[in-house]
Structure 1
């Protein structure tokens, strides 16, 4: 049975999951949840995703939501047929710990600021709302400061968890691309050469190139 992917073609979290599905060449059927019409808040949807968010997957009856959890699941299930994006906790305990460290950094030192800045500067105007410019400035300044730390980390290792790429790197792409493309941050800034090198590396992967224009079903 083909995996069913309930999401939106341009949702940042849907793009995150689609990138990982592409890494493992997992066929999936995209079932579009029309968030513009509130489909993610409909009673039937909330029975499955109680927080009313996208995406979630149905893998032959196994339901899972939260994009990072889905990414871990896909990487674990398809470990033998794709890149080693998730270290094995049993046989690579220290590498796994470094991965979890990097994943926490992404969630709390990157996404925490990037997603809120995007909400103010991109999503509010899309809905006809007025952004809080002062709040957005504060969020972007914090993000820029954290990217300075990233540059120091990436000076001595190729990726955020070490010298091997992991899911933690890919988790950054969708929100990073959103803010970078809108010129709210510059992830190719020569003042942060290690971040620029890393960003070019991870965004040039065929998986991201396949979905960056929008998610569609993959046979």
Structure 2
């Protein structure tokens, strides 16, 4: 039975799970959840995801939510197939991986995702962008990316010289930031960040899901 992902095809977190599936060669079935109708708040959904957010997975009866937790679970369960070592096992390498994931959660996603929300997803719901808020978020993210430039000037990826989930986790929000949100220059003006972004965003797994899981 294929893995079931309950989510919205274009949502940031749903695509975060989907790209891990593609990297690991995991077949999945997307069960579409219509956020515009509030399906994620229905009792049938919140029974499995109590916060009413997408996605969650059903892996033959095993229910799991939170996209980064799902990514870790899938990378470990299917460690022997697809792209190797997305979650390193050696203690020091794993610690550097966890450090890199913390960087993404603390220094990238809160700002990139909120810019995407203001510039793209608000319009989807017929609301108006708060450009002052966007400018504030962009200023903060711009400063954070100086840290990325320093890290990536010393190594190929955020956790070292091998690709991990920490890199892949950036793709959905980063893609929105560079594309429809109109902030490509934040990454492109930094040579090490640009090199890293071009590498991870051109991977076949991401190209397969970037326009929809």
**TM-score, normalising length from structure 1?**
0.93
Number of aligned residues = 211
Contact 2:142 2:186 in 1 (8 A): no
1:6-26: CA deviation from partner (whole Å, max 9, x where unpaired): 111111111110000000110
Secondary structure at 2:147's aligned position in 1? Answer: helix
Secondary structure at 2:88's aligned position in 1? Answer: coil
- Counterparts of 1:82 and 1:14 in 2: how far apart (Å)? 20
- Counterparts of 1:167 and 1:118 in 2: how far apart (Å)? 21
1:186 aligns with 2:185: yes
| Residue matched to 2:24 | 24
| Residue matched to 2:7 | 7
1:111 aligns with 2:109: yes
**TM-score, normalising length from structure 2?**
0.96
1:58-107: CA deviation from partner (whole Å, max 9, x where unpaired): 0010000000000000000000112211011xxx1000000000000000
Q: Which runs of 5+ in 1 are unaligned?
A: none
Contact 1:33 1:39 in 2 (8 A): yes
- Counterparts of 2:142 and 2:184 in 1: how far apart (Å)? 8
Q: Evaluate the alpha carbon distance shift between residue 41 and residue 106 of structure 1 in structure 2; reply closer, same or farther with a 3 A threshold.
A: same
| Residue matched to 1:145 | 143
- Counterparts of 1:184 and 1:175 in 2: how far apart (Å)? 11
Contact 1:55 1:65 in 2 (8 A): yes
1:9-48: CA deviation from partner (whole Å, max 9, x where unpaired): 1111111100000001101111111111111111111111
Q: Evaluate the alpha carbon distance shift between residue 27 and residue 78 of structure 1 in structure 2; reply closer, same or farther with a 3 A threshold.
A: same
Contact 1:2 1:27 in 2 (8 A): yes
- Counterparts of 1:136 and 1:164 in 2: how far apart (Å)? 33
1:143-182: CA deviation from partner (whole Å, max 9, x where unpaired): 1111121011100100001111100000000000001002
Structure 1 residues 170-185: aligned runs within 5 Å:
170-182=168-180, 183-185=182-184
- Counterparts of 2:123 and 2:80 in 1: how far apart (Å)? 44
Contact 1:8 1:14 in 2 (8 A): yes
Secondary structure at 2:185's aligned position in 1? Answer: coil
Contact 1:154 1:160 in 2 (8 A): yes
Structure 1 residues 152-167: aligned runs within 5 Å:
152-167=150-165
| Residue matched to 2:202 | 204
